[in-house]
Amino acid sequence: MFLENKNRVLHKRITDYFRERYDTQAPNGTSTDQREFADPTEFWRQKLKTHFPAFYNSYAETTNADFKALYQTAYENDYIVQEIDPVSCKIVSSRSFTKDEMNLFTAIKDGDVRWLEAYKKKYGIEKLKQALLTTCDINGLSGLMWAGFCVHQLVKNFVYRTLSDSVVVKSENIDIFNFAHLAAMLNQPEAEFEALAELDVDMTVVIDRIGSPIQIAIQFKHHDAYAALKNRCATVRSTEGTLDPDLVNAAVIFGNTPVLREFIQQGLDVNMQLEGFPLIMHACFTNQLPVVDELIKAGADVNRREKLKYSNNGSTALHCVAEFGRVQACRLLLDAGADITLKNEHGITALEIAQANRHQQIVDLLNQHAHKPTPQAPTPQAPDAAPQAPDATPQAPDAAPSATVGLGRRR
């Protein structure tokens, strides 16, 4: 248990942070203070979702989840610094975050600019810059990356000002990238991009493993930066004139529905395959439900199979949700007509995958769908005969009622 003696130090670190931090108001006027929540469970659910989204997504659909305990577990598991051998890719050493490192990450996620200002005043700007760039959690995300992901624009602006005293940012953990990338990551306004353009900063450069500034804006769902970059000659199309697949991929797997909708309006083929996987399969894998829904509405084939170059197994999106336990995505696919009888190249159905992975909710959904009676077309009824002259013969209707009338979408 978290409160056992071996974990009391970690518990004290969490408690210390909440005691030290200011009761800061977020930009939308809501507070991160627990007193603002009538339901403590909702407080810890929001806390887990904001601070550890990947961990939250793994348990979001679990009934009766103890979000406070999950938060504490994620806090213990994620705030670990690991040194990895670049040749063998094996972990050579690891350590827990220091108290200041934990508080730095928590302050960024909570939007606590005053705590960040106090940190800068206490340790100096160089120490803060080093902490933002080189301290990474177990997922490889730095303080800078978390500032990009957080919803607090005041934090983004603070971090941008902190790092904006050179034209190039470089650290051991982050590749070199220019300030167009940084401005996109921290959602700076169009005026900032105009200033960078006057300094001849390249707005279109693509950096390996990072991408272009506009790709970063899409990944972080920064619509202001995205619009500014489009106005500064950044393009969403490849050299062949088609929509850039890297940008499409970013919109799908990071759940940027407005940009995806824009791409669809520009003629995106919703059945295109990226790296062998259909777009809807990418969306299901990352559990981006609004993207799944948007692709279905645009006519995506929910039964389209993956086509990998070397290890193709012919799976569909339904196989994917069955493997990873994506309950809501499974419902969307079934409602859109996903075929539960399809087998992959190994002769395995989605139901068998769900059973093997012990995803009982998926198993129940698929079984319910399998036993759901198929709607039958209504039997045409002869219309009531209108009063006729004694020698008139009742006439048959011109056409039988359509077999699909009143059935709606077939399930």
Strand partners, 82: 94
Q: Cβ of 126: how many Cβ atoms within 10 Å?
A: 9
pLDDT for the residue 24: 37
pLDDT for the residue 113: 94
End-to-end CA distance of the chain: 45
What letter does residue 390 receive in the DSSP assignment? T
Q: Which of 112, 114, 106, 7 is nearest to 48 (CA)?
A: 106
pLDDT for the residue 289: 94
Extract long-range pairs of 361-367: CB within 8 Å, 24+ residues apart: 361/61, 361/325, 361/327, 362/321, 362/322, 362/325, 362/326, 362/327, 362/330, 365/327, 365/330, 365/331, 365/334, 366/322, 366/330, 366/334, 366/340
Contact 31, 22 (CB under 8 A): no
> Where do we find the tokens 């009531």?
384
Q: Which of 119, 120, 116, 103 is nearest to 51 (CA)?
A: 103
Domain coordinates of the chain in residue numbers? Answer: 272-372
- Rounded distance between C-alpha atoms, residue 197 and residue 202, angstroms: 7
Q: Are strands 273-274 and 277-278 parallel, antiparallel or unpaired?
A: antiparallel
pLDDT for the residue 382: 53
Q: Which of 126, 59, 29 is nearest to 325 (CA)?
A: 59
Two tokens at 127? 């120490």
pLDDT for the residue 406: 30
What is the fold, at CATH topology level, of the domain defined by 272-372? 1.25.40
Find the angle CA(81)-CA(87)-CA(92) to the nearest 5 degrees: 35
pTM tops 0.75, yes or no: no
Q: Which of 96, 137, 138 is nearest to 6 (CA)?
A: 96
Two tokens at 330? 């499974």
Spans of the chain, pLDDT less than 50: 1-32, 34-35, 166-176, 377, 385-411
